[in-house]
Structure 1
């Protein structure tokens, strides 16, 4: 039984990927990690991650392109803000029998692969409090009004940046059938804040995978992990949730630009700089705001 971790990335997110890989290798030097290219601009990051961390590139790039082409054929070009996020669905068909998918805007604080031990009793894992915020960024009230999902089922919603499952649990046709169902009912999904794959993968898992488990529901609960949560306390280079008295398993800057002054910047910066064999971190200047963007920001500050 092989276990491994998948990430998606391209050359633009080099610094985030380095911070993630530094944190993964800090606690786990051995678990294989595989890069699913986000687009065709991945040669530099693939070379660096291979040399510094032993990361391999997904072996069947033709399959990844086939998923992308069929996705476009089903949905067209205007349905999603970032359709390439769907490339992570290649996880179901890669070499690992059990796998963990992790977004690059994450750092971990433990040997994170050990969470796959829950797969002895379940087929799909997540670990977040996405459900506690309601159905925003995933579904619209239409899924309740039409009976697509019950309120109980919607309590199993999850963030698409961290999840685990088993190879072959879903078929390629299962993916395309899900895409077709979703394309026929765009009113089911909340894309108002430019999420892309999260609503669709939630629909697929809630419809097709019965044995689901959210790790935050373990006995004694588990801490939160969103960098937008202000209550976490720093202990050394890790974080603790004071409400539970537990260390965080990982921290996710979902929807937050990682830059000096962002929440828990020191934690990210520490992990980015752990490995002296990779290029030193060079902060990138913020893109210059247009006059329209400055005007919108000034309006927000008044209300």
Structure 2
């Protein structure tokens, strides 16, 4: 049985990918990692990640082209903000019998592949508190009103940036049938925050994989992992969640631009610059914000803090 990690990337997110790979390889030198190209602009990052971290490119690029064409045929070109996010679904058909998928705006604080041990009992794992905020950014209330899913089932919604499963649990036909079902019922999905694949993939998982497990429901609870949570405490080069008195497994800057001054910037910067063979990341100086923008940012931060306490 083979285990491995998939990422999706292009040259635009080179610095993010380097930070993620540095964090993975700090704890795990051996696990194979495969990169799924986000688009055709990937050759620079492919060379860098292969040379320094042994990352290989997904072999069946014909499948990715097929998937992209089918997505366009079913939904058209204007339905999704970022349709290329669906390329991550190539994970189901790659070389690994068991796999983790990890977004590049993440750094990990442990040997992350060991979370696949949960697949001894389950067919799909995730690890986040997306469900605590209700069904927003995934579904609308109509999925409950029309009994598409039950209240219990929607508690299994997850963030599409970190998840794991088994090869061929989902078939290519499953993907295309899901596309058709979802295209016929756009009213079921919440795209208000410009999410792309997350609502559709949540629909597919709830419909087609019964043995699911969210790691935050493990015995003894589990730490949070969202970069917008203000209460994490820095301890060396990791973070602690004081609400459960546990170190974070990973940190995900979902919906947050990673740049100087962002939440937990020092953590990201540390992992980005761990490899002395690579030059440090360079960020253009930030334009000074207007008083109105500063006030708006302060309000957003206050809202994040309120949500974190709920």
TM class by smaller structure:
over 0.9
Residue equivalent to 1:212: 212
How big is the shift at 1:250? 0.1
1:175 pairs with 2:183: no
How many residue pairs were aligned?
Answer: 299
Deviation at 1:203, TM superposition (A): 0.3
Residue in 2 that maps onto 1:61 = 61
Residue 6 of structure 1: SS of its match in structure 2? strand
Partner of 1:193: 193
1:296 Cα deviation after fit: 8.2
Residue by residue, what CA displacement relative to the aligned partner does 1:135-187 show, whole Å, maximum 9, x if unpaired? 11000001001000111001000000000000010110000000000000000
**1:33 and 2:33 are equivalent in the alignment:** yes
Q: CA deviation at 1:284?
A: 3.4
Aligned partner of 2:7 in structure 1 is 7
In structure 1, the partner of 2:70 is 70
Separation in structure 1 between the aligned mates of residue 298 and residue 266 of structure 2, nearest angstrom = 30
Q: Deviations over 1:60-106 (max 9, x none)?
A: 11111110011100000111000000000000000000000000000
Q: Is 1:154 matched up with 2:154?
A: yes
Matches within 5 A, 1:270-289: 270-285=270-285
Cα shift at 1:225: 0.1
Q: What is residue 121 of structure 1 aligned with on the other side?
A: 121
- For residues 139 and 288 of structure 2, the distance between their equivalents in structure 1, rounded to whole angstroms, comes to 33
Unaligned runs of 5+ in 2: 300-310
Q: Distance in 2 between matches of 1:222 and 1:54?
A: 31
Q: Secondary structure at 1:151's aligned position in 2?
A: coil
Confirm or deny: 8 A CA contact 1:237 1:267 kept in the other structure: yes
Give the CA deviation at 1:295.
10
* Aligned-partner Cα distance in 2 for 1:295–1:179: 44
Deviating runs (4+, > 3 A) in structure 1? 284-289, 294-303
Q: Which residue of 2 aligns with 1:81?
A: 81
State the match for 2:257 in structure 1.
Answer: 257
The equivalent of 1:244 in structure 2 is 244
* Secondary structure class of the residue paired with 1:24: helix
**What's the offset of the Cα at 1:298?**
7.6
Contact 1:48–1:278 under 8 Å retained in 2: no
Which residue of the partner structure matches residue 163 of structure 2? 163
Distance (Å, rounded) in 1 between the aligned partners of 2:297 and 2:73: 42
Instruction: Tell whether 2:141 aligns with 1:145.
Output: no
For residue 297 of structure 1, report the CA deviation from its aligned partner.
4.1
Q: Report the RMSD for the aligned CA atoms in angstroms.
A: 1.7
Write the distance in 2 (CA, Å) between the matches of 1:259 and 1:141: 35
Q: Secondary structure at the match of 1:155?
A: helix
| Aligned residues of 1:137 and 1:193 also touching (Cα < 8 A) | yes
Q: Which residue of 1 aligns with 2:132?
A: 132
Tell me, yes or no, if the aligned pair for 1:17 and 1:104 is still in contact at 8 Å: yes
Q: TM-score, normalised by structure 1?
A: 0.95
- Measured in 2, the distance between the counterparts of 1:286 and 1:52 equals 30
